Structure formats: C-alpha cells, structure tokens
Amino acid sequence: MSDHGIGRWQGAALMATTLLGTGVFILPQMTVAVAGSWALLAWLLLTLAVVPLAITFGLLASRFPHATGPAHFAALAFGELTGRVLGLMFLLVVPLGASAALMMTFEFIAPLLPSAQQWRLPVEFGLLGLLWLLNYRGLQLSARLQFGLTLLIITVVLLLLLAFGLLHPQPWQYPSPADFNRSALAAACAIAFWSFLGVEAMTHLAHDFRDASKDLLPALLRGCLVVGAIYLACSYLVLMAGSEHPLAMIGIFNQLLGGYGELVLGMLGFCSGIATVNVYTASVARSLASFSEQGITPGYFQQKNRYHMPQRALSAIIAAMAVVLVLTWLTAQQLDDLISWVNGVFVVIYLVSMAAACQLLPRRYKAVSVLSFALCLLLVIAIAEHMLYALLLILLVWPALYIQQRKQRLSVPPLGSHPSVDG
C-alpha cells in the first residue's frame, strides 16, 4: 500500500468526472425532450441500475487488480485468448472514442472562439498535448484536479437549485399515471445510460490506489451516486425552470444567476470532457504496457518513467488519437457514427466482464453478478444495430491473436527438453 496513491474520494472524483464527461449539461435536456416529467424516473432507474455494475466491477478489480482490467478478468474466467481479444478491442476502440469525446468537448468552447471551425484541429491537438502532460506525472495530479472539478460542478448545480427555490418557489407536481408512456421512458433510459458508460475505466487503475482492496469499490459507488444525483438535479431544473436557449442549462444559468452561462458552463463542460478522456488515456496506456510485458504487443511499450507511467505507451496512444482526429477531419466523418461504434464495443466488454464475475466471485456475490449480466444482456438487445463494428473487430482480432498464441507456445521448449551439460 502506497501513501502516495489515489484515495477513495479522489477515486470517486475520477469516476464522477469520467461519467459526467461531455454530457453533464446536455443529456438532461435530451431526456426531458423525449420523456417529459418521466425523465426524472429514467435517471433514477439508471442510477439504481448502475449500482450492481459498479459493485461488480469494484469487487473484481479489488480482488484481481491488474492494468488490463476487464481483459484480465476475462482471461481468468474464460482463458488467455478471450482476455487478449477483449484487451485488444479496448486498445483499438479507445483512440476512436477519445477522439470523438474531444470533438464533443470542443463544442463547449466553440461559441467563445471567432471562426471556431478553423480552430478545431489546432485546439484538439493542443488538448492532446495537455493530456500527455497530465498523464506524464501519473494520475495523482490528475486525481486532485478532477476532485476540484467535481466539487465545482456540484457547487454550480447546488447554486442553481438554491436560486430556483428562492426565485421561483413552487411545489413539484407529480406526473399523472394516466400520462405514462412506456416507450418514451425507455427512450429516455437509452439516452441516459450512455452517461454511465465508463464504469469499467477505473478497473485499469487499481494499482494507482493506495489500497485498492479497501478504496476502489467505495470510490466507484460514490462516483456513480454523485453522477446520478447531478443528472437528476439538472433534469429537475430543465423541467421546472425551462429555457428557450439551445442548451437549456446555459439558459437556466443566465436566468437564475444573471448571465455568463456560456462562459461558466462552457468551461465546466469543456474541462469535464477533458477529464473523461484523461482517465481513458491513462487506462489504455497501462493496458498497452501490460500487453507488452506479456508479449502480445511489442516490448518497446514497457518502459516506465520515474513517475511509474508507461511513457512510450502514453505517447503512442496520444499519437493514435491524433491520427483519428486528422482522418475524421479529412473525411468529415459523422460524430454519431463514431459514438455508436464505440458504444457497441464497450457493451461487449461489459457483458464479458459480468459473465467473468459470475465465474470468479464468491457465491455470496452471485446475485449481484447475475443481475449485472442480465442488465448488460438487455443493453445488447437494445442497441443490436450498433453491434456490427464490435463483431467486425472480434472477427479480425480473434484469428490473429489465436495464431500469435499458437506461435508463442510452439516457440517455448517443453520443460526438461534443454540438453544437459556434461561436467
């Protein structure tokens, strides 16, 4: 146990800012648009549903800490090949997803820039440089910064709730059961669930905690519950205060706190988006270095700097993100397509991880493991049309890794086959 690692509150802040991401001031408005007053029920249901997932990931990571996270759990439960496939899928999809997140993050500051689209690529490259610097010294600095960011977001949301209560005191009117629309509620839940994709990211960082066995599970749970509360509060404000502004939360901020919503919420949303990409950058860099140590990827990426960060792996991931950003810029790729591809891959990672939990965790955790697996299976069914990219990755990666594994086994001589030395 290290005195210089991440504590449970810093871990909770990393978890919270990872989940809040670019959707913190956008998703509540989207759920209200499709489900009206029932959006609050959607957020409540999703917050409750993510609890068993967080518990299961926390139990797995605290008992089987490893830099490759879900890939390690899959290898323990279903064999080395399955773990390698899952891990390589993670390595291949994160540069894509992180680049999409950076593109979304840019939109928060675009209104503040003249001729914003001309600055898109230079700004995104600048953000990649910032990510490299944040991760170069390890996650302790990032955890402190993101703890402060989480407190700022909570403070702003509480100020808005207080201002609304003082300026527009009115009782909450419960929606009529006669107005209940199951399809609208399901649509709101589908939108809301994307805000909780990212729970698995913390499992890659178990070794960065002071004591993962004690701190990681509480960090995951606290982070998820904080996120659920923030989304519930923002949805309540959108419902009750309302706004004609294209981004409702900015309009509400301007109404209740006298302006500067574009600046304040824009910068908070921008920083939260960076925080999300930051955690994934650290996660995938550690995964790449771990795979190098196992001989799956070139040994070049093993090297760590004096802050115990795999520097070469970090630089390679940042470079991959830069390539994706350039290709996206040149081909005018739709952001929605990138997001749907990424989501499909992460659903596979979640499903296999929960199946592994059913195999690995003690009997007393069987109920929560099975419940988590069932929730992931429902998600697979819900987004079936977006699973094509994930299936294509599996079809490409599995045969290549199978051949590599066979070659590695054949190249290792059996025990006792070395010629004896006469003496």
pLDDT digits (tens, 9 = 90+) for 64-122: 888 788 889 999 999 989 998 998 888 888 888 888 778 878 877 777 777 767 788 88
pLDDT value of position 373: 94
> Among candidates 141, 190, 149, 206, which has minimal Cα distance to 16?
149
Burial of 284 (0-12, 13-18, 19+ CB in 10 A): buried
Most trustworthy range by pLDDT among 114-128, 172-186, 388-402: 388-402
Q: How confident is the model at residue 178 (pLDDT cuts 50, 70, 90)?
A: low
Q: pTM higher than 0.85, yes or no? A: no
How does residue 175 score in pLDDT terms, banded at 50, 70 and 90? low
Side chain identity, residue 214: K
Q: Is the pLDDT of residue 322 over 80?
A: yes
Angle, helices 261-293/8-20, rounded to nearest 10 degrees? 110
Q: Which two tokens stand for residue 174?
A: 């419960």
pLDDT given for residue 1 in this prediction: 39
Residue 412 confidence (pLDDT) above 60? no
Asked if pLDDT for residue 419 goes beyond 60, the answer is no
- What's the pLDDT at 327? 85
Mean pLDDT over residues 146-152, rounded? 79
Cα 373 versus chain centre, distance: 18
pLDDT band at residue 140 using 50, 70 and 90 as cut-offs: low
**Predicted confidence (pLDDT) at residue 371 exceeds the cutoff of 90:** yes
Neighbouring residues of 46: CB distance < 8 A, sequence distance ≥ 6: 189, 192, 193, 195, 196, 228
In terms of average pLDDT, the best of 11-20, 164-173, 338-347, 352-361 is 352-361
209 has which bridge partners?
Answer: 6
Question: How much is the pLDDT for 413?
Answer: 55
* Amino acid at residue number 336: D
pLDDT at 161: 86
Q: For residue range 12-55, list pLDDT tens digits in order.
A: 877 787 777 667 787 888 888 888 888 888 888 888 888 899 89
Give the CA distances from residue 49 to residues 223, 361, 405, in Å, rounded to whole numbers and listed in that order.
14, 20, 38
Residue 296: pLDDT band with limits 50, 70, 90: confident
56 pLDDT above the threshold of 70: yes
**Could you say which DSSP state residue 205 is in?**
G
pLDDT digits (tens, 9 = 90+) for 216-257: 888 888 888 888 888 888 888 888 877 777 778 888 888 888
Closest CA to 127 of 270, 284, 282: 270
User: Which pLDDT score, from 0 to 100, does residue 4 have?
Assistant: 62
142: pLDDT confidence band, cut at 50, 70 and 90?
Answer: low
Q: How far apart are CA 217 and CA 224, in angstroms?
A: 11
Q: Which residue has the higher pLDDT, 373 or 259?
A: 373
Higher pLDDT, 197 or 169: 197
**Per-residue pLDDT, 421:** 42
Please report the domains of the chain, with CATH numbers, ordered by start residue: 8-167+182-276+321-408 (1.20.1740.10)
pLDDT computed for residue 338 by the predictor = 72
* Greater pLDDT, 398 or 10: 398
Quick one: pLDDT at residue 23? 72
**Residue 197: closest CA among 94, 77, 298, 327:** 94
392-407 pLDDT, tens digit per residue, is 888 988 998 888 888 8
How much is the pLDDT for 272? 80
